[in-house]
Amino acid sequence: MCGRYAASFSPDDLATDFEVEQDRTDERTRSVLVSPQDPPAGTPDWNVAPTKAAPVVLCRTPRGGSKDAAAPRQLRLLTWGLVPSWAKDTKIGARMINARAETLLDKGAYARAAVARRCLVPADGWYEWQVSTVATTAKGKPRRQPFFIRRGDRAPMAFAGIYEFWRDRALADDDPDAWLVSFAIITTAAEPGLDRIHDRQPLVLDTEAWSHWLDPQITGADAVHDLMASPRAGRFEAWPVSGAVSSGRNNGPGLLQPAPSEDLVGVLDPMTGEIIGG
């Protein structure tokens, strides 16, 4: 977890839900993709995958501004897959899409960002693949059933994230591609019920925790650790969806539709623990 999620909203929606003061999604951003992103970054995307650029909310003190002044909330498009400032190239980002909450402050690649560069990653929900313990494929491998998971109350949802700046030393200072800004999603142990799908889940912050998580003045390791305290369980609902989500070429709201019951084989119901399908 988390390898795919849905983000079907517009920048205007996010500006309202997250009280964004500066919409900077129109700024050119460096991409690590070989082909143009589809759907384009900043438009509704029901199958956000690593290395894509996605909307992120963050707070940064203006250059030359007072450290005591309130930092405005910005909406930006950042690349999913954190590239540390010391990395030799951007390829490492594909392996650093998630950061475990339990070791976040102990890992050199994440610790500095955790205390200084935290962000919110807006999402409708996320996808997770359940490995069956009773059913196999024609090749004898365990069947993998994708689920979609979202907040049951349909409130705006945000994953806790961190972001980092990487400088391409081969490019001139005035080249807009000289800088790559990337992010990782923080994950934690899955709560009861969801752990029947996968043992990990993203750290989903409730609305009242957003300001503290974004506050650039909260920099102590102990304080950041406290910000990651697991919220209450029972906020989510989940259902099996079509295997179409497994291909990054597929997109659209249909990916969120419940899979027909006749297509389910050896699926464990996350709420009841019962096996669905023969």
Task: Find out if CATH 1.10.20.60 is the number for domain 4-126+154-233.
Answer: no
pLDDT over threshold 70, residue 67: no
**140 close to 193: Cβ distance less than 8 angstroms:** no
State the residue for tokens 């500006």.
15
Average pLDDT over residues 268-276: 92
Q: Is 158 helix (H, G, I), strand (E, B) or coil?
A: strand
88-123 pLDDT, tens per residue?
999 999 999 999 999 999 998 999 999 999 999 999
Cα–Cα distances (Å) from 55 to 12, 89, 173, in that order, read 11, 23, 25
Q: Residue 275: enclosing H or E segment and its boundaries?
A: strand 275-276
120-169 pLDDT, tens per residue?
999 999 999 999 999 999 999 999 999 999 999 999 999 999 999 999 99
pLDDT over threshold 90, residue 23: yes
Give the pTM: 0.95
State the residue for tokens 């190239």.
89
pLDDT over threshold 70, residue 68: no
Beta-sheet pairing, 179-189 with 73-80 = parallel
pLDDT over threshold 90, residue 231: no
Name the token pair of 195.
């752990």
Q: How far is CA 69 from the centre of its chain?
A: 28
Question: How much of the chain, in percent, has pLDDT values that exceed 90?
Answer: 87
160-194 pLDDT, tens per residue?
999 999 999 999 988 989 999 999 999 999 999 99
Return the domain boundaries, the chain: 4-126+154-233
Question: How much of the chain, in percent, has pLDDT values that exceed 70?
Answer: 97
Pick from 95, 74, 130, 69: which is nearest to 259 by CA?
A: 130
Name the token pair of 67.
């450290």
32-46 pLDDT, tens per residue?
999 999 999 999 999
State the residue for tokens 């994953």.
159
- Cα separation, 251 vs 68, in Å, equals 43
Among 5-9, 58-62, 143-147, 240-244, the least confident range: 58-62
What's the chain's average pLDDT?
93
